[in-house]
């Protein structure tokens, strides 16, 4: 099984943490960089070959992850010369298998990547998207009014629930084989174009633990939860790091 970690972003939402560190090397719980957490989880679930797509501060990521041997996996790199968003970087990888896992380099979750991959194969999907229900609170009082501008309803900082993409996908190679690797193309483009062209795209609802540590609030929560989760998930820092 093959996995691609997208690690080329600048992590602007996490400044000042990312002024001198690329986002995937930002530590969780002052212990492990998030990319090491992901690599350990991938290795544990049977992914033996990992390609890391890099751009911003690429040398630091490559120096830390090296060839992956200390985690028992093979790691190689796809280097972007410019920002290509989240899907176009896949077109730079020449040896993609027919189906592969793609994940953002800023995830903190306990999704079983192997089960997710197997579901994608069993369903014969073009794209499978891991999804999670999130609650979003509006920071304002909201108003509804009729055609005469008469206010008919008021809600103080309402909470809405949405199913959101977790930043974990399984793709069939044909989905990216036609992309120009010089033109930025993101997950939003893939969803819009894929729906329009009737690709077989399915959701994989997940109810476990998931945070996007690119968001400051999620990063703070991950640091609070890490001491407990590191034991539950078997994430021990190695002495040499």
Please say if the pLDDT value at position 240 is more than 50: no
Q: Is residue 206 part of a domain?
A: yes
Mean pLDDT of 98-123: 97
pLDDT score for 10 = 67
| Cα 195 off chain centre by | 21
d(CA 121, CA 87): 20
166: left (phi over 0), alpha (psi -120 to 50) or beta: alpha
Q: What is residue 205's three-state secondary structure?
A: strand
pLDDT score for 52 = 97
Range(s) of the domain holding residue 22: 2-130+165-232
* pLDDT, tens digit (0-9, with 9 covering 90-100), for 145-182: 999 999 999 999 999 999 999 999 999 999 999 999 89
Q: Is residue 141 part of a domain?
A: no
Q: What does the DSSP 8-state code read for residue 201?
A: E
Q: What does the DSSP 8-state code read for residue 81?
A: S
d(CA 127, CA 88): 15
Q: Is residue 223 part of a domain?
A: yes
Mean pLDDT of 46-50: 97
User: Lowest mean pLDDT: which of 20-34, 62-76, 91-105, 106-120?
Assistant: 20-34
Q: What is residue 229's three-state secondary structure?
A: helix
Q: What is the CATH number of the domain that holds 101?
A: 3.90.550.10
* pLDDT, tens digit (0-9, with 9 covering 90-100), for 11-25: 566 665 555 678 889
pLDDT score for 30 = 80
Q: Is residue 106 part of a domain?
A: yes
Beta bridge partners of 108: 211
Question: Which of the two residues, 13 and 221, has the higher pLDDT score?
Answer: 221
Q: Is residue 159 part of a domain?
A: no
Task: Output the 3-class SS for 8-75.
Answer: CCCCHHHCCCCCCCCHHHCEECCCEEHHHHHHHHHHHCCCCEEEEEECCCHHHHHHHHCCCHHHCCEE
Asked whether the whole model's pTM tops 0.75, one would answer yes
Number of compact structural domains in the chain: 1
180-215 per-residue burial string, b: 16 or more CB within 10 A, e: under 16: ebeeebebebbbeeeeeeebebeebebeeebbbbbe
């Amino acid at each position: 099984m093959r996995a691609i970690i997208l690690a080329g972003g600048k992590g602007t939402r996490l400044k000042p943490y990312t002024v001198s560190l690329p986002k995937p090397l930002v530590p969780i719980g002052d212990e492990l960089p998030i990319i090491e957490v992901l690599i350990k989880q991938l290795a544990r679930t049977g992914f033996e070959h990992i390609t890391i797509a890099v751009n911003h501060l690429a040398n630091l990521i490559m120096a830390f992850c090296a060839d992956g041997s200390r985690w028992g996996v093979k790691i190689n790199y796809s280097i972007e010369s410019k920002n290509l968003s989240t899907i176009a970087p896949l077109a730079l990888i020449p040896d993609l298998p027919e189906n592969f896992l793609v994940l953002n380099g800023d995830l903190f979750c306990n999704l079983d990547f192997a089960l997710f991959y197997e579901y994608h194969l069993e369903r014969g999907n073009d794209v499978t998207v891991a999804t999670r229900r999130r609650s979003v609170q509006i920071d304002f009082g909201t108003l509804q009014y009729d055609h005469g501008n008469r206010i008919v309803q008021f809600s103080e900082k309402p909470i809405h629930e949405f199913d959101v993409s977790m930043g974990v996908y399984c793709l069939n190679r044909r989905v990216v084989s036609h992309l120009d690797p010089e033109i930025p193309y993101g997950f939003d483009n893939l969803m819009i174009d894929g729906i329009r062209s009737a690709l077989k795209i399915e959701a994989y609802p997940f109810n476990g633990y998931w945070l996007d540590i690119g968001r400051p609030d999620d990063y703070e929560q991950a640091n609070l939860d890490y001491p407990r989760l590191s034991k539950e998930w078997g994430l021990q820092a190695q002495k040499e790091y």
